[in-house]
Structure 1
Amino acid sequence: MTTTTAPAVDLPVLAGTPEITRIAGVGTAVPATSYSQTELLDILDVDDPRIRSVFLNSAIDRRFLTLPPEGPGGGRAPEPQGDLLDKHKKIAVDMGCRALEACLKSAGAMLSDLRHLCCVTSTGFLTPGLSALIIRELGIDPHTSRSDIVGMGCNAGLNALNVVSGWSAAHPGELGVVLCSEACSAAYALDGTMRTAVVNSLFGDGSAALAVVSGDRRVPGPRVLKFASYIITEAVDAMRYDWDRDQDRFSFFLDPQIPYVVGAHAEVVADRLLTGTGLRRSDIDHWVVHSGGKKVVDSVVVNLGLSRHDVRHTTGVLRDYGNLSSGSFLFSYERLAEEDVARPGDHGVFMTMGPGSSIEMALIQW
């Protein structure tokens, strides 16, 4: 694997946190079609003022989506579950291939350098999974090891990074990739209810990939030092994707209180993450938070004592793409990397939230 040129900086490893991996590159991809919230309200013929308010007060300007085809009268009819699964397969594979190629280019690597591919999705179920389909589509070496994380939700990108970091530590010098590919257009229910309106106002399609490697100090990206996880067991049903018998399809549910529940528990996870490192929250230079929605981001900001500047990439991704589920935080990390403001010795925190209800965090250092 070739890497981008950068001076090697020998940084001390925090006590009790041996170097696991370094981040070598990041890449993203979205579908070709995007819509403003106002355009979506018109296309979906929404006139309920309560639902219109949910769309227009979401802090989202635009989202990339693949909508149902127009019917005879110009309206958009709900798609059967089988058609949604077909849509998921097509979109998730296409976006995933493009995000993977962009990620490898960012890392100065080629498809032939890839040794492990971990694919994450919650917007459809496939057997064989996305990893096998993308390996076939791109002609990747069929001996490449792979894993698929399915159904964990918006937090799952960090769960995958934890898994691939372990693989990386056991295979120094070999390239692993976490690939999150979420075709949220394939998880929509168009029934005019407030339950589905909240979901339909929020999610967008997108894929993001992160390349990691251990044992190579020439890699200029940050080291992944530590993970922390927490399941809010009393709120297990507050975010869920289950079968709607009336709609005859899967349907996503978000409890209105979930932003405040997540925010109230954010400190618990952050404190556990930093325990034993000698760091305080005020020592964290860069925060990369999942773009879960305006209320959840606001709640995290308040409870962790962050500034608006700290979450500028998070709110920017929410504005430009909506909630991209498991890959959202990687879209934010890509913006941070492009900004080129992180300096050797800086610390950062990745934070994702999702069903369970769960919070995941990772500590990184440049």
Structure 2
Amino acid sequence: MTTQVETRAATAARIVGVGTSVPETSYTQRQILDIFGIQDPKIRSVFENSAIDRRYLTLPAETPDGRAVESQGQLLAKHREQGIEMAARALQACLKDARADLADVAHLCCVSSTGFLTPGFTALLIRELGLSPEVSRIDVVGMGCNAGLNALNSVNGWASTHAGKLAVMICVEACSAAYVFDGTMRSSVVNSLFGDGAAAIAVTAEEEPVRTGPEILKFASCIIPEAVEAMRYDWDDAHGKFSFFLDREVPYVVGAHVEDVIGRLLVGTDVRRSDVQHWIIHSGGKKVIDSVMINLGLTRHDVRHTTSILRDYGNVSSGSFLFSLERLLDEGRVEPGDYGVLMTMGPGSTIETALVRY
């Protein structure tokens, strides 16, 4: 006896909505230095030369002796509470952009690297927003700043085999829930860079498209195993907390491999690098952006949204590239048929890319 298994052909998916959110409170780099009483000139220089003007953060309540030190439990509570609130607003903004409702969400993917929750953000958001309990879901935890494109690859695959259904990915990063203030250069580099925020993207594959948006054509990845320790979020015994670590060689590691992964992304597509009109690159930091720009021969105009997001929000981890994509789409200069490259970088060390056609 044989069993007939129904198979469905994949349909190309499109990005039909993007939405972002941040906390209510924001700070300039100098305000953060003053709040925590940081006087070391080397550390102040790291903050003041970061190409960041302002970041959205949720900092601990002020005490008579200065800023309170948050326990790991308090940080995890911040991750959960801020994460749910930011994710809900980003999702609602995304659905408005996609001209869709909460009831239309058929697949939900949540990405985060700033804390650990069980159940994860997908389950918490389904309860918080009253989404259908039949929503297909997945939580991607701990992959880091590159994770947005890793997850988008998966979400794209789901949407491509469920024609007409709406899939949503939300990057939820309460980065201030991972801060350790100890006066060392290790923590200062991290504390000078990351900001809080959430970003959502809606994807659907319609056999007869009724929504406009860039078509997702291809993904390509590059992991650099010899640099696996260069970017970490691990346990710090000295403080009894998790904390980030960024090696100073990260920009050069990324730059040395970025040309190869872009070559593999474009191979077989008949698209040359010079044909790409729009570059949406993770706002990983000034040196990272410069390294990518130099190694790919890009101009300041090409990375204008990447640098402006870094300036206005800092590094929002996995959601940074969606903040840049939203800014590009709001700019109104994209023409039908234009090609775009999305790129994220993170622990592994990893470079993730996607090719889209507007």
Q: Flag whether TM exceeds 0.5 (same fold).
A: yes
Please report the TM-score for the alignment, with normalisation by the length of structure 1.
0.94
Contact 2:11 2:161 (C-alpha < 8 Å) held by counterparts: no
Please point out which of 259, 263, 279 is paired with 2:251: 259
Q: Does residue 136 of structure 2 align to residue 145 of structure 1?
A: yes
The amino acid of 2:111's aligned partner reads V
Q: Paired residue for 2:338?
A: 346
CA distance in 1, matches of 2:177, 2:242: 10
CA distance in 2, matches of 1:19, 1:113: 19
Unmatched 5+ stretches in structure 1 = 1-17
Q: Paired residue for 1:116?
A: 107
The CA deviation at 1:70 is 1.0
The amino acid of 2:39's aligned partner reads D
Runs of 4+ with >6 A deviation: none
Contact 1:19 1:225 (C-alpha < 8 Å) held by counterparts: no
The CA deviation at 1:243 is 0.5
Q: Does residue 279 of structure 2 align to residue 287 of structure 1?
A: yes
Q: Paired residue for 1:95?
A: 86
CA distance in 2, matches of 1:331, 1:125: 23
Unmatched 5+ stretches in structure 2 = 1-9
The amino acid of 1:271's aligned partner reads G
CA distance in 1, matches of 2:136, 2:81: 23
The CA deviation at 1:344 is 1.1
Q: Does residue 178 of structure 2 align to residue 197 of structure 1?
A: no
Question: 1:285 is paired with a residue of what secondary structure?
Answer: strand
Please point out which of 274, 280, 293 is paired with 1:301: 293
Q: Does residue 346 of structure 2 align to residue 357 of structure 1?
A: no
The 5 Å alignment of 1:159-178 reads 159-178=150-169
CA distance in 1, matches of 2:12, 2:296: 26
The amino acid of 2:97's aligned partner reads S
Post-superposition CA distance 1:195-237 (Å, at most 9, x none): 0000000000000000000024222101000000010111000
Contact 2:60 2:69 (C-alpha < 8 Å) held by counterparts: yes
The CA deviation at 1:276 is 0.4
The CA deviation at 1:239 is 0.3
The CA deviation at 1:19 is 5.3
Post-superposition CA distance 1:298-319 (Å, at most 9, x none): 0000001000000000000000
CA distance in 1, matches of 2:152, 2:62: 39
The amino acid of 1:27's aligned partner reads G
Contact 2:111 2:147 (C-alpha < 8 Å) held by counterparts: yes
CA distance in 2, matches of 1:139, 1:192: 43
Q: Paired residue for 1:7?
A: none
Q: What is the aligned-residue identity percentage?
A: 66
The 5 Å alignment of 1:180-259 reads 180-215=171-206, 216-259=208-251
Aligned residue-pair number:
348
The 5 Å alignment of 1:312-351 reads 312-351=304-343
The CA deviation at 1:72 is 2.2
CA distance in 1, matches of 2:133, 2:88: 15
CA distance in 2, matches of 1:45, 1:341: 44
CA distance in 1, matches of 2:311, 2:188: 18
Q: Paired residue for 1:77?
A: 68
Please point out which of 66, 71, 79 is paired with 2:58: 66
Contact 1:349 1:361 (C-alpha < 8 Å) held by counterparts: yes
Contact 1:20 1:166 (C-alpha < 8 Å) held by counterparts: no
CA distance in 2, matches of 1:20, 1:84: 40
Post-superposition CA distance 1:71-104 (Å, at most 9, x none): 222x113211111000100001000000000000
